Structure 1
Amino acid sequence: MATASPPPLTIWAVSDGRAGIEAQALGLAEAVARRRPATVVRKHVRWKWGLGRLPARLIPIAALDGDILPPWPDIWIATGRATLPLSRRMRAWSGGRTFVVQTQDPRGDLAAFDMVVPPEHDERQGPNVFPILGAPNRLTPQKLADELGAFRAAIDPLPHPRIAVIVGGKSRAHDLPPDRAGALARDIADAVEASGGSLLLSFTRRTPAEARKILAEALKGLPGIIWDDRPPNPYFAFLAAADAVLVTEDSTNLATDAAATGKPVHVLAMAGGSGKFARFHAALRARGIARPFQGRIETWSYPPLAETDRAAAELLARYDARRISA
Structure 2
Amino acid sequence: MPALEKQVESREPALILSQPLAGLQAQAIGLAERAGLAPMIQPLLARRPWRWTPAALWPAPLAAVGGIAVTSGTLVLSVGGMGAAVGAALRRRGCPIVQIQNPRMRLDRFDLIVANPHDEIAGPNVLISRNALHRISPQRLAAAREAWLPRFAHLPRPLVAVLVGGANGRYRLDREVAAALARQLATMMRLDRVGVMLTPSRRTDASARAAFSQALAPLGAWVWDLQGENPYVGMLACADAIVVTTDSVSMISEAAATAVPVLVAALPGRSRRIGLFVQTMRAAGRVRDFTGRLEHWQTGPLDDTLAVAQDMRRRLAMAELG
Asked if Structure 1 and Structure 2 have the same fold, meaning a TM-score greater than 0.5 normalized by the shorter chain, the answer is yes
The answer (yes or no) to whether the contact 2:130–2:303 under 8 Å persists in 1 is no
Structure 2 Cα separation of the partners of residues 224 and 181 of structure 1? 15
1:50 Cα deviation (Å)? 5.6
Q: Using the alignment, how far apart are the partners of 1:296 and 1:144 within structure 2?
A: 25
- The answer to whether residue 169 in structure 2 is matched with residue 168 in structure 1 is no
Q: Structure 1 residue 21: deviation in Å?
A: 0.9
Q: Could you list the per-position Cα deviations for residues 2-24 of structure 1 after superposition, in whole angstroms to 9, with x for gaps in the alignment?
A: xxxxx942212222221111111
Matching residue's letter, 1:48? R
The residue aligned with 1:75 is 75
What secondary structure is seen at the aligned counterpart in 1 of 2:127? coil
Find out whether 1:283 has 2:280 as its counterpart.
yes
Q: 2:25 aligns with which of 22, 26, 41?
A: 22
| Residues 139, 157 of structure 1: alpha-carbon distance in 2 compared, 3 angstrom cutoff | same
1:297 Cα deviation from its structure 2 partner:
0.3
Give the equivalent residue in structure 1 for 2:319.
322
Partner of 2:192: 195
Q: Which amino acid aligns with 2:197?
A: L
Matches within 5 A, 1:249-260: 249-260=246-257
Q: Please name the residue that 2:237 is paired with.
A: 240
Q: Is the 8 A contact 1:59 1:85 kept in 2?
A: no
Deviation, 1:59, is 5.5
Counterparts in 2 of 1:180 and 1:71: CA distance versus 1, 3 Å: same
Tell me if structure 1 keeps the 8 A contact 2:81–2:104.
no
- CA displacement, residues 97-124 of structure 1 (integer Å, 9 cap, x when unaligned): x321111111121111111111111111
Q: CA 1:50–1:258 in structure 2 vs 1: closer, same or farther (change >3 Å)?
A: farther
Q: Which amino acid aligns with 2:79?
A: T
Contact 2:171 2:268 in 1 (8 A): yes
State how far apart, in whole Å, the 2-side matches of 1:280 and 1:53 are: 30
Whole-Å separation in 2 of the counterparts to 1:53 and 1:139:
34
In the TM superposition, residue 149 of structure 1 has moved relative to its aligned partner by 3.0
1:13 maps to 2:12: no
Indicate which of 284, 287, 302 corresponds to 1:305. 302
| TM-score after normalising by structure 2 | 0.91
Residue of structure 1 equivalent to 2:64: 63
> Out of 140, 146, 150, which is 1:153 matched to?
150
Residue 165 of structure 1 aligns to a residue whose secondary structure is strand
Task: State the 1:70 CA deviation.
Answer: 2.3
Distance (Å, rounded) in 1 between the aligned partners of 2:171 and 2:59: 29
Map 1:130-141; keep pairs closer than 5 Å: 130-141=127-138
Structure 1 counterpart of 2:110: 113
Where do 5+ consecutive residues of structure 2 fail to align? 1-9
Paired residue type of 2:75: I
- Number of residues paired by the alignment? 311
CA, structure 1 residues 257+53, in 2 after alignment: closer, same or farther (shift >3 Å)? Answer: farther
1:80 CA drift (Å):
1.9
Instruction: Find the aligned partners of 2:103 and 2:130 in 1 and give their Cα distance.
Output: 17
Deviation by residue 1:104-162 (Cα, 9 ceiling, x = unmatched): 11112111111111111111111111121121000111111222333333212322111
Change (3 A) 1:220 1:72: farther
2:6 equivalent in structure 1:
none
1:44 maps to 43
Partner AA of 2:32 in structure 1? A
**161-170 vs 74-83, which moves further:** 74-83
Deviation at 1:243, TM superposition (A): 0.4
Q: CA deviation at 1:235?
A: 0.3
2:218 alignment counterpart: 221
Distance in 2, Cα, partners of 1:73 & 1:170: 40
2:167 and 2:73 mapped to 1: Cα distance? 36
Aligned CA RMSD, in angstroms, stands at 1.7
- Distance in 1, matches of 2:74 and 2:296, equals 44
Residue 54 of structure 1 is matched in structure 2 by 53
Q: Distance in 2 between matches of 1:191 and 1:73?
A: 54
Give, as a single letter, the amino acid of the residue that structure 1 aligns with 2:173.
Answer: L
Residue 220 of structure 1 aligns to a residue whose secondary structure is helix
Deviation at 1:197, TM superposition (A): 2.1
Give the TM-score normalised by the residue count of structure 1.
0.90
The SS at the match of 2:298 is coil
